[in-house]
Amino acid sequence: MHADRFSLRAPAIVLGCALALSSGSEPSRAESEPPAHCRLELTLEPKSGQLDGRASFSLPASERVLDADNRLRVRLHPDLVLRSIRGLGRELAFERFSDPDTSDGVAASRYLVAVDEPSGVLRLDLEWSGTLRQDLAAGEKAGQIHNREMNAHIGSDGVYLAPDASWHPRLDIPCIWTLEVTAPHAVVASGDLLEETASTSRWRPRFPLIGMALVGGEHEVHRSERDGHVLRAHVSAGSARFVAGLFDAVWAYLDLYEPLIGPYPFAQFTVVENFFSSGFAFPGFTLLSSQVIRMGERSLRPGYLDHELLHNWWGNGVLPLKDGSHWAEALASYGANYMRPLLEGDPTRGRIFRRNVVETLSRSERLARQAVADFGRADGISGFIGYQKGAVVLDQLADEIGQETLWAGLRRATTERLGRPTDWTDFRATFEAESGRDLGPFFEYWVDGPGLPRITIDDASWHAGELMLHTTSDAPFATRLPVRVRSGSDTVQPTLVVEPGSATSRLAMVNAPAEIEIDPDFEVLRRYPQHLLMPTLAAVAPGEPTTLIVGASDDAAYSAVRDAIEEPFRDSGGLNIRSKFRSRWLDRGSVVLLGREALTEEAADLFDGKLEVFEGGFEVASIRYVSNSDAILGCVRNPVRAGSVVCVFCANGAAALRQAALLTFYGGNSLVIFDHGRPTVRHDFELRETVQVSQS
């Protein structure tokens, strides 16, 4: 999702994280220099989209600010015009150029301002104005998380000014900001709210940032206060009934996380209802779409609002390097998506999270070669690596140094590095300080490298009370491997220490075991055998050859889900589109069948025992579904190509297809039954990795 603007926007079924990394800071070489001080005064007119601004900058006259010709470099949104610059007691001349640098995904104009013989502190006053309007729907795609086109909009439908959109003069250096906004409705900006009246508010971040975010709309403002914390919610009248639930959830999150990772870093936390389908985390606040807020309890599942809150510690508190690795998503995913269920006593969800990561990486060679540390600093690194794999790598670290030591390291990081640009190397140093261990080999393998070992038990035998296991591992160090050994009615669960290369382990065992189950709870991040991978729609991905089959009579009805499946293949190819099933497509790779016409008798035989589709309905586990609003997504293993799948999506009627464009978000289960587009039943067709024990 991510490397250019690194923000995740989500439909109702999953929110995920949203972090605007452009609000981060520069590398640490700048930390010893005096910071810039920047004051902004804005007047917004939502009906016209007009912005009028004044800025007062107090800048160190250094190479960070001026080029070799003593010119100040200022970036400004191309729809805005810099009216004047005063400094050194006079009006300063400036030139305007189109800025070719769109590395952050946002176009801008570049102004060069001549500054004669600068020294010490440079004080400048700037004025600018213009109209910022965007088509809110232009970049929205059904079933897609990101609207990459949105960056700067002022309208009656709301205000969204991203920190990388240059809606104020940007110098691309960290600045201590003070922002005063005059607007006809409530607004929220990066940092802490200092004061507000009916029409104005003043904001200041607690530490230097490169850019500010500003959002707002015609909202009701709700407030809750407890133990020195302030929660606010800016929502429409139609969403007001959900505010109490949002506040209760955030108070519970603070009670859960503050003892583990330290005090909340800002004066308040504000939830702002947004006018397009996004969820962005900024310093002190988060945006949530109306659709997500109105999900009620479902919007409070792990990985939703909790994930956004955690970015106030990681990403908007401890800052990422502007062009460095995007580690913040791994930490927020670890704390919310993965650890919250475990902290609340639900280990099953933790196992599912680990399993899905192991299987996704094992299924895709492209993902298996990608390193967590490269997410955000190298092209083509998947968000799956930065979010999900990053979270499981942190789980591996907790296993290495202890869970309490990991939390202590995160508390230490938020204390020592709040407001400071930080990279994985800084976190490594923090964890080393807490654990007293050299973690270089761990980080080199799991973070800087692909970190996906092959660990197998090649042979198992039992003789005279001793179980002998022959193992192979391509990891460069010893690795723990939990096993479950069944012997008659008894089960023991020892943990092997598997040495690099080929090795032998011995376990004392009185009774002869029949079978060994390898890592039954997916506690070790490793390659999983292809023939055992659970069949899900997630197997259908770019780089994996796939045949999509939709019959002519079903093509119009299934067009939305067809487009959603096609979308990721459009740049990479690999999708073979057909109207009839042929068994030869199984040799090529995965097969996706849409509608009853595609599910010929030959294709239906592949699902034998899992589901039955008939005219007007379908049956799963002896239960028949015949309502017009019922639909089913079912996947089984491809019988002729290991790692590939055969999936069918079939709806009973038009009511069942209203949310069909979101089908690709349901790749975590083998079988899902929907009612009006909402999942009601889920099944997983999981196979365990086992080794038979020979006896002598």
**Chain CA centroid to CA 403, Å:** 23
Find the angle CA(427)-CA(432)-CA(437) to the nearest 5 degrees. 150
Amino acid at 559: S
* Tokens encoding 139: 């970049």
> Cα separation of 455 and 354, whole Å?
16
Of 40-44, 170-174, 302-306, the poorest mean pLDDT is in 170-174
575 bridge partner residues: 546
Q: What is the pLDDT of residue 2?
A: 30
Indicate whether 672 pLDDT > 90: yes
Contacts of 346 (CB under 8 A, 6+ apart): none
Residue-level length of the chain: 696
Say what the pLDDT of residue 504 is.
Answer: 94
Sequence-ordered list of residues with C-beta below 8 angstroms from that of 92, at least 6 positions apart, any chain: 85, 86, 113, 114, 115, 124
pLDDT at 29: 42
Return d(Cα 519, Cα 359) in angstroms, integer. Answer: 13
31-49: pLDDT as tens digits: 556 778 999 999 999 999 9
Share of the chain above pLDDT 90, in %: 73
Residue linked to tokens 């601004």:
53
Distance CA 237, CA 227 (A): 28
599-616 pLDDT, tens per residue?
Answer: 999 999 999 889 999 999
Output the furthest CA–CA distance in the chain (Å, rounded). 96
Taking the C-alpha atoms of residue 157 and residue 464, their distance in angstroms, rounded to an integer, is: 77
Tell me what the mean pLDDT of segment 445-468 comes to: 95
Amino acid 328: pLDDT: 97
Cα(634)–Cα(648) distance, integer angstroms: 5
Nearest to 212 by CA among 167, 171, 149, 159: 167
3-state secondary structure 15-41: CCCCECHHHCECCHHHCCCCCEEEEEE
Contact yes or no for 561/523 (Cβ under 8 A): no
The residue assigned the tokens 């020979």 is: 694
Query: Residue 696, Cβ neighbours under 10 Å: how many?
Result: 7
Decide which of 567 and 3 is more confident.
567
Alpha helices in 282-326 (DSSP H): 290-293, 305-310
Lowest mean pLDDT among 229-238, 277-286, 585-594: 277-286
Average pLDDT, the chain: 89
Q: How far apart are CA 111 and CA 107, in angstroms?
A: 13
Return the pLDDT at 443: 98
pLDDT of amino acid 5 = 25
Rounded (5°) CA angle 565-566-569: 115
pLDDT of res. 401:
98
Report the C-alpha gap between 567 and 91 in whole angstroms: 52
Stretch (H or E) spanning 390: helix 390-401
Task: Give the pLDDT band (50/70/90) at residue 146.
Answer: low
pLDDT grade for 9, boundaries at 50, 70 and 90: very low
Q: How far apart are CA 26 and CA 320, in angstroms?
A: 9
CA atoms in the 13 A half-sphere facing the CB of 257: 28
d(CA 317, CA 311): 7
Beta-carbon neighbour count of residue 303 at 10 Å?
21
Confidence of residue 136 (pLDDT cuts 50, 70, 90): confident
As given in the structure block, the two tokens for residue 547 are 């045949």
Q: What is the mean pLDDT of residues 276-283?
A: 80
pLDDT for the residue numbered 13: 32
Rg of the chain over Cα atoms, rounded to whole angstroms, equals 28
**Which DSSP letter does residue 448 get?**
S
Assigned token pair, 685: 């067709």
pLDDT exceeds cutoff 60 at 21: no
Residue 623: Cβ-neighbour burial (10 angstroms; 0-12, 13-18, 19+)? exposed
* Residue 122, amino acid: L
* Cβ atoms of 280 and 7 closer than 8 Å: yes
Cβ neighbourhood burial of 284 (10 Å; 0-12, 13-18, 19+): buried
Mean pLDDT to the nearest integer, 96-109:
71
Residue 212, CA atoms < 13 Å, CB-side half-sphere: 30
Identify whether the C-beta of residue 483 lies closer than 8 Å to the C-beta of residue 521: no
Mean pLDDT (whole number) for 628-641: 96
pLDDT in tens, 391-448: 999 999 999 999 999 999 999 999 999 999 999 999 999 999 999 999 999 999 999 9
pLDDT in tens, 307-342: 999 999 999 999 998 778 899 999 999 999 999 999
When mean pLDDT is compared across 97-106, 492-501, 530-539, the lowest value belongs to 97-106
Q: What is the pLDDT of residue 34?
A: 72
Q: Are strands 623-625 and 617-620 parallel, antiparallel or unpaired?
A: antiparallel
